[in-house]
C-alpha cells in the first residue's frame, strides 16, 4: 500500500468543523493527528547519535499528549544502544543529558531490552527486559541471570540546574558479565517546554 500523505489521510481540513453520523462532536473537540504524527507515535522515529563510550542515543517527540489533573504534558522517547563489554563486574554507560526549559521529567514507560549470547548454553540469544535477573552472558558464551544491578539511572548533577537530567545505564554482577542494552523509554514534560538532548 502506498504511504498516504497527511492530507489524503485526514481527508479534510482540521480547521473546518464537521459532524459525523451519530455523533455530536465536531473536529475542534477532537484531537486530530496527521499520518506522520501517528506513525512517529507508534514507532518512535529517532536519529541516534554516536557517543564517547560507543553508545548511540537520541530522543524524539511523540504525538501523544497527556492531561494529568489539569496539567498538560508532551511526551518524548529516549533510545540508546550500548554494549556492556568487555566483560567485567561493573559498568556505567553515560547515555546523555536531557535538559528541559522548566519542570520535572517523568519516565512513564520503559521497554528497554537486554540481549546476550547463549551459544554454549541452550543456543541462540537471550532477550529480557533490562532489570535485575535479566540474562547476561560471559566469556564462555553462556547466559545466566544477573544477580547484581541492572537499571537506567536518571541523575541531577549537584552543580547543574535541576532541569539537567543525566542518564546512565548501570550494571553490576558478582561475576564478570557482558551484554547489549537497548534503551527505549518514554517520558513526559510540561507542555511546550523546550527539551534538549546532549550525547555523552
| Count of CB atoms situated within 10 Å of the CB of 54 | 11
Report the residue number, 44 or 178, with the smaller CB distance to another protein.
178
155 binds another protein (CB under 8 A): yes
Q: Which residues pair with 199 in a beta bridge?
A: 96
Closest approach of Cβ 45 to another protein, in Å? 23
Report the half-sphere exposure of 197 (CA within 13 A, side-chain side). Answer: 23
Q: How many CB atoms lie within 10 A of CB 123?
A: 8
d(CA 48, CA 27): 36
For another protein, what does the binding mask look like between residues 40 and 79, x meaning CB under 8 A? Answer: ------------x---------------------------
Which residues are CB-neighbours of 115 under 8 A, at least 6 positions away?
125, 126, 127, 179, 180, 182
- Pattern 4-43, another protein, x by CB under 8 A: ----------------------------------------
The piece of 24-32, 68-76, 115-123, 153-161 that touches another protein (CB under 8 A) is: 153-161
Residue 174 touches another protein, criterion: CB under 8 A: yes
Binding mask 120-149 for another protein (x = CB under 8 A): -------------------xx-------xx
- For residue 39, give the H/E element and its range: helix 35-43
DSSP code, position 100: E
At 20, list the grid cell.
459525523
**In the set 47, 102, 129, 141, which binds another protein (CB under 8 A)?**
102
Site string for another protein, 76-95 (x = CB under 8 A): ----------xxxxxxxxx-
Helix (H, G, I), strand (E, B) or coil at 98: strand
Strands 49-50, 149-156: pairing kind: unpaired
Residues near another protein (CB under 8 A) are 52, 86-94, 96-97, 101-104, 139-140, 148-149, 153, 155-164, 166, 168, 170, 172-176, 198-200
Amino acid at each position: 500500500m502506498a504511504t498516504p500523505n497527511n492530507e489524503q489521510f485526514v481527508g479534510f481540513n482540521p480547521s473546518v468543523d464537521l459532524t459525523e453520523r451519530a455523533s455530536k462532536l465536531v473536529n475542534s473537540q477532537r484531537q486530530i493527528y496527521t499520518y506522520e504524527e501517528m506513525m512517529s507515535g507508534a514507532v518512535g522515529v529517532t536519529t541516534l547519535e554516536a557517543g564517547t563510550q560507543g553508545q548511540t542515543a537520541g530522543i524524539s517527540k511523540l504525538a501523544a499528549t497527556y492531561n494529568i489533573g489539569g496539567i498538560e504534558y508532551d511526551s518524548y522517547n529516549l533510545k540508546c544502544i550500548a554494549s556492556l563489554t568487555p566483560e567485567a563486574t561493573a559498568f556505567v554507560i553515560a547515555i546523555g543529558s536531557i535538559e528541559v526549559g522548566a519542570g520535572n521529567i517523568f519516565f512513564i514507560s520503559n521497554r528497554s531490552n537486554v540481549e546476550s549470547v547463549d551459544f554454549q548454553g541452550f543456543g541462540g540469544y537471550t532477550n529480557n527486559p533490562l532489570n535485575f535477573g535479566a540474562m547476561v552472558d560471559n566469556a564462555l558464551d553462556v547466559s545466566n541471570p544477573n544477580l547484581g544491578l541492572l537499571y537506567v539511572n536518571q541523575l541531577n548533577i549537584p552543580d547543574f540546574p535541576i532541569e539537567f537530567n543525566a542518564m546512565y545505564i548501570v550494571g553490576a554482577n558478582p561475576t564478570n558479565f557482558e551484554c547489549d542494552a537497548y534503551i527505549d523509554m518514554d517520558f513526559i514534560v510540561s507542555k511546550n517546554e523546550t527539551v534538549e538532548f546532549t550525547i555523552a
